Amino acid sequence: MTLPASRRPTLPSLRRALSGVLCAAALFASGAGHALAEPKKKFDVCWTIYVGWMPWDYAVSSGIMKKWADKYGIEVNVTQLNDYIESINQYTAGKFDACTMTNMDALTIPAASGVDSTALIVGDYSNGNDGITLKGKTELKDIKGQRVNLVELSVSHYMLARALETAGLTEKDITIVNTSDADIVAAAASPDVTALVSWKPQLAEINAMPGMTEVFNSSKIPGEILDMMVVNTQTLKDNPDLGKALVGAWYEVMALVEKKDPATLEAMARASGTDVAGFESQLATTKLFVSAAEAVAFTSSADFPALMKKVADFSFAHGLFGEGAQSVDAIGIEYAGGATQGDAANLKLRFPTEYMQMAAEGGL
């Protein structure tokens, strides 16, 4: 006797439901799959608006990026994101193959999350783009006992820690007030805010306010805050053409910047929301490695590991390596020539110079 419809076994629908669940779970996990890279033709790169990364916008709008991608037969999609931290998180989660970020964020976000990353291009270091401003006081040591507004755990915080070192103070002598960078200019206008750490263009606005004095800036710690283009190491290893295309496009735009080509500067200024004068004032406090040779020289210099060590020490001391990290050596960093710092069995951040070297020799 056939069972009525309501009593027939529901195995097929159960199976379908189960496979649906597994599909959804697979989608969730698809981000992880991205890390298992293989040779591919389409790449996603993201960046955010900052003076050191504006060349990427020009590379796209002028067709230079496409030219270089076509040269190697690949497709490179360059996306501008609004939120800097979001862009790094998206890269860490596997949605992008490459992202622009600072050296400290590269160490504490993707590297600390186990995403092996390579600093393909070391573009510049902050040479005054980040600064500490005091209201009503003129000396760095007057910061003692104050409440300091800044983006906590960012490069601003790192620079503050280094500044306090130089003045013989520690973080215990001040109180950190986490303030979003979007609102730090508004915060500066508030009467109960007397100390801030910010970066350009906000820094320029704050310095221009009455009663404000910049008491320290990143030019006093040159080479410690780097702006770079970071690529997933596995993806780069499987697809060296991506590296070549990115590096080639970058240094072609750099050549235009070096020549101070008016059209290039104008386009970059407009894209970053300012005028040429404003953009040039930001460029003035950015030490761009306009030539690949300069970048290679800096990255392969003997002092570079010591600078990165300072960043690593700060990051570890603030718990930015995550709970599992037992010491500052938990995350290994590899430098040009194979030298390593930290756990050599856990290399997660690399600073090779081969691609930049290829650009310097004109071999791209």
Partner 1 sequence: MKRLINLRPERAARLALSALPFAFVIGLYLVSSELRLAANPNDKLLPALPQLYAAIDRLAFTANVRSGQYDFWFDTLASLRRLVFGVGISALLGLCLGVASGVIPYVRAGASPVVTAISMVPPMAVLPILFIVFGLGEIAKVVLVVFGVAPVIVRDMQLRAMEIPQELTIKAQTLGASSWQYILRVVLPQVMPRLITCIRLSLGPAWLFVIAAEAIAATEGLGYRIFLVRRYLAMDVILPYVVWITLLALVMDHALRWLQKRMYPWAESEHEARPAP
| Interface ranges with partner 1 (CB under 8 A) | 21-22, 24-26, 28-29, 31-33, 35-36, 85, 89, 92-93, 108-109, 112-115, 149, 152-154, 171-172, 175-180, 183, 186-187, 189-193, 320, 322-324
Tell me how far apart the alpha carbons of residues 48 and 81 are, in angstroms, rounded to a whole number. 5
Q: Which is nearer to partner 1, 108 or 235 (CB)?
A: 108
**Cβ proximity to partner 1, 103 vs 264, nearer residue:** 103
> Which residues neighbour 98 within 8 Å (Cβ) at sequence distance 6 or greater?
43, 44, 45, 46, 91, 120, 229, 230, 231, 232, 235, 242, 246
**Is the CB of 139 or the CB of 183 nearer to partner 1?**
183
The minimum distance between CB 4 and partner 1, in angstroms, equals 15
Rounded least distance, CB 262 to partner 1, Å: 35
Q: Which of 112/159 has CB closer to partner 1? A: 112
Q: Which residue number, 65 or 320, has a Cβ lying nearer to partner 1?
A: 320
DSSP 2: P
Report the C-alpha gap between 105 and 109 in whole angstroms. 6
Provide φ and ψ at 332, rounded to 5°: -85, 140
| Smallest separation (angstroms) from partner 1 to the CB of 180 | 5
Q: Bridge-partner residues for 244, per DSSP?
A: none
Q: Least distance in Å: CB of 223 to partner 1? A: 23
Write the CB contacts of 249 (distance below 8 Å, at least 6 apart in sequence). Answer: 59, 64, 65, 67, 68, 69
**Residue 49 or 177: which CB sits closer to partner 1?**
177
Minimum distance from CB of 308 to partner 1 (Å)?
Answer: 18
Nearest distance in Å: CB 202, partner 1: 13
Tell me which residue has tokens 């270089």: 68
Tokens for 85, please give them: 């931290």
